[in-house]
Chain A
Amino acid sequence: MKNIEKLKEIVNGCLNDDRRSQEALFKMFYGKMLAVCSRYISDPDTAQEVLQEGFIKVFDKLEVFDFKGSFEGWVRRIIVNTAIDSIRKSKRAPILKEKDTDFKVDSTDHIEENETIELTELKASMAMKAIEKLSPGYRTVFNLFVIEEYSHKEIAEILGISEGTSKSNLSKAKLNLKRILTEEFSNLEE
Chain B
Amino acid sequence: MKKIEDLFKSALRDQELPYDESAWNEMSKKLDARSGEGGASGNLKWILGTAGAIVVTVGVLLYMDNNTDIKEQSKNQIASTDLKLNENTDFNNSESSNVASETQSETDDSTEKSNEKSNAKELESSYESNQEEVIQVVECCDEKVERLITPVYRETTVKKDTVVENPVLKEKLTFSPVNDKCLNDVFIYQNENNQSVWLNTPVNKLIEIKASTKIKEKLNEKGLYQIGVLNASKDFVSRSSFRVFEPKSNQLIVEDHLNYENGLPQLDAKAYNEGENKWYLNDDVVALNKEKNSFNLFKKGNYQIAMSNVDINGCVSKSVTNFWVEEDYNLMAVNAFTPSSWDSRNTHFLPYALTKRDSPFKMIIIDPSDGAILFETSSADMPWDGIDRNTGKMVDENKSFVWKVILENPESNEKPEYIGTVVRL
A134-150 residues with Cβ-Cβ distance < 8 A to B are: 142, 145-147
Number of interchain pairs (Cβ within 8 Å): 143
A114's closest neighbor in chain B, by CB? B3
Quick one: which of A109-164 are within 8 Å of B by CB? Answer: 114-124, 126-128, 130-131, 142, 145-147, 151, 153-154, 157-158, 160
Counting CB contacts under 8 A, is B419 at the interface? Answer: no
Choose among A26, A52, A69, A123 the residue with the greatest number of B CB atoms under 10 Å from its CB.
A69
Contacts of A39 in B (CB 8 A): 12
**Whole-angstrom CA separation of A89 from B14 in the bound complex:** 27
Which residue of A51, A59, A118, A146 contacts B8 across the interface (Cβ within 8 Å)?
Answer: A146
The answer to whether B8 and A147 have CB atoms under 8 Å apart is yes
Nearest A-chain residue to B241, judged by Cβ: A157
Given that A154-B223, A154-B224 are known contacts, is A128 also in contact with B12, CB under 8 Å in the complex? yes
Main secondary structure of the interface of B (DSSP, over half): mixed
Q: Which of B1-41 contact A (CB under 8 A)?
A: 1-5, 7-20, 23-24, 26-28, 30-31, 34-35
Chain B stretch 230-246: residues in CB contact (< 8 A) with chain A? 243
Residues of A within 8 A of B10 (CB): 121-122
Q: Does B179 lie within 8 Å of A31, measured CB to CB? A: no
A52, B26: Cβ atoms closer than 8 Å: yes
Evaluate whether A69 and B179 lie within 8 angstroms (CB atoms) in the complex, with A89-B105, A120-B2, A177-B4 already known: yes
Contacts of B26 in A (CB 8 A): 48, 52
Are the CB atoms of A146 and B5 closer together than 8 Å? yes
Write out the residue numbers on chain B whose beta carbons fall within 8 Å of the beta carbon of A131. 8, 12
List 8 additional A-B contacts (Cβ < 8 Å) besides A26-B27, A153-B224: A26-B23, A27-B19, A116-B2, A117-B1, A118-B1, A151-B202, A151-B223, A174-B4
A77–chain B nearest beta-carbon distance, Å: 7
20 example contacts (A-B, Cβ-Cβ < 8 A) are as follows: A27-B24, A35-B15, A39-B12, A56-B30, A68-B314, A69-B313, A70-B310, A70-B313, A85-B105, A116-B3, A118-B1, A122-B11, A128-B12, A147-B8, A151-B202, A154-B243, A157-B224, A160-B104, A174-B4, A178-B4
> Quick one: given A56-B30, A147-B9, are A115 and B4 in contact (CB under 8 Å)?
yes
Q: What is the CA–CA distance of A62 and B58 in the complex, to the nearest angstrom?
A: 42
- B397 at interface by CB-CB < 8 Å: no
B24 touches A23 (CB 8 A): yes
Chain B 200-218 near chain A by CB (<8 Å), digits 1 or 0: 0010000000000000000
Chain A residues with Cβ under 8 A from B314's Cβ?
68-70, 73
What is the bound-complex CA distance between A30 and B18, given in angstroms? Answer: 8
Q: How many residues on chain A are close to B (CB under 8 Å)?
A: 66
- Among residues 89 to 114 in chain B, which have CB atoms less than 8 Å away from a CB atom of chain A? 104-106
Q: Does A43 belong to the interface (CB within 8 Å)?
A: no
A73-B314, A124-B15 given; A30·B23 CB < 8 A: yes
Among all A-B residue pairs, the 4 with the closest Cβ atoms: A69-B314, A31-B16, A70-B314, A127-B11
Q: Nearest residue in A to B35 (C-beta to C-beta)?
A: A17
> Any chain B CB within 8 A of the CB of A10?
no
Q: Does B367 contact A (CB under 8 A)?
A: no
Which residues B164-185 have CB closer than 8 A to chain A?
A: 177, 179-182
> In whole angstroms, what is the CA distance A126 to B18 when docked?
16
Is B12 a contact partner of A117 (Cβ separation < 8 A)? no
Asked if B376 CB lies within 8 Å of chain A CBs, one says no
CA of A39 to CA of B224, assembled, Å: 23
Q: Are B12 and A52 in contact (CB under 8 A)?
A: no
- The 8 Å CB contact of A32, one of B5, B11, B15, B311, is B15
- Which one of A34, A114, A126, A177 contacts B17 once the chains associate, using CB atoms below 8 Å? A34
